[in-house]
Amino acid sequence: MEQYKKEFIEFMVDCGVLKFGDFTTKSGRKTPFFVNTGFYRTGTQLRKLGEYYAKAIHDQYGLDFDVLFGPAYKGIPLSVATTMAISEFYQKDIKYCSNRKEVKDHGDTGILLGSPISDGDRVVIIEDVTTAGTSIGETMPILAAQGDVKVLGLVVSVDRMERGQGTKSALSEIEDNYHIATTAIVTMKEVVEHLYNNPYKGRIVIDDALKASIDAYYEQYGVQE
């Protein structure tokens, strides 16, 4: 596993973004782990997060694209932080763009924040975590309405590696439905691999009992791909 992936996993633990316990997802699944990027709350944390996203995008897609699109609301700071990191570390100026939940009819009008999107633009979408693909279903028509754009792919922070609406993972369903590539900074398999019985700051984050709960969850909701 690449070093930056290990560092990102520990970063999520430090920020309280990656939590273990008893949670319920939006889809109603009882889950022993939860990823909430709303717990990135400081400028320092957002700067580091942007660096990890930039590395994942660079590794998967390169930087030969024009716009990084972050769907409202959580995608807004993600797109800003990541385009800044790309500029700093790769000396590449990528435009950032997000949508509004409501169309603005005065001043800076329209549905978009940040850069306009034009015919011929190549777009990468950035999100926090995708479990059902609902946000992408809302985002693709917005992008299509801007002109003849090419969506290269989607990047998320964590691939939960569980079924979406059908038998495939949520990311695989997005690839099939929208014919775009997907990637994540890390997968839950990598998270477990790095944290299971591996002391971090003097404690075991994933012990045998928690590992058994995670395994049971994937027995029920996991995918074999």
Task: Determine whether the annotation assigns residue 104 to a binding site.
Answer: yes
Instruction: Name the helix (H) or strand (E) containing 14.
Output: helix 3-15
Is 107 annotated in some ligand binding site?
Answer: no
CA pair distance 131, 160, nearest whole angstrom: 7
* Sole residue written with tokens 């319920």: 24
**Catalytic sites, residue numbers:** 104, 106
Q: Is 145 annotated as a binding residue?
A: no
Is residue 128 a known part of a binding site? yes
Q: Is 101 annotated as a binding residue?
A: yes
Beta strands per DSSP E along 105-149? 110-114, 122-126
The response to whether 132 counts as a known ligand-binding position is yes
Question: Is 131 annotated to bind ligand?
Answer: yes
Say whether 5 counts as a known binding-site residue.
Answer: no
Q: Are 220 and 28 in contact (CB under 8 A)?
A: no
209 annotated to bind ligand? no
What residues contact residue 92 under an 8 Å CB cut-off, 6+ apart?
A: 63, 86
Strands (E), the chain: 18-24, 30-35, 67-70, 95-104, 110-114, 122-126, 150-159, 181-187
Q: Give the annotated binding-site residues.
A: 26, 73-74, 100-101, 104, 106, 127-135, 160
Q: Give the annotated binding-site residues for orotate.
A: 131, 160
Q: Give the annotated binding-site residues for 5-phospho-alpha-D-ribose 1-diphosphate.
A: 26, 73-74, 100-101, 104, 106, 127-135
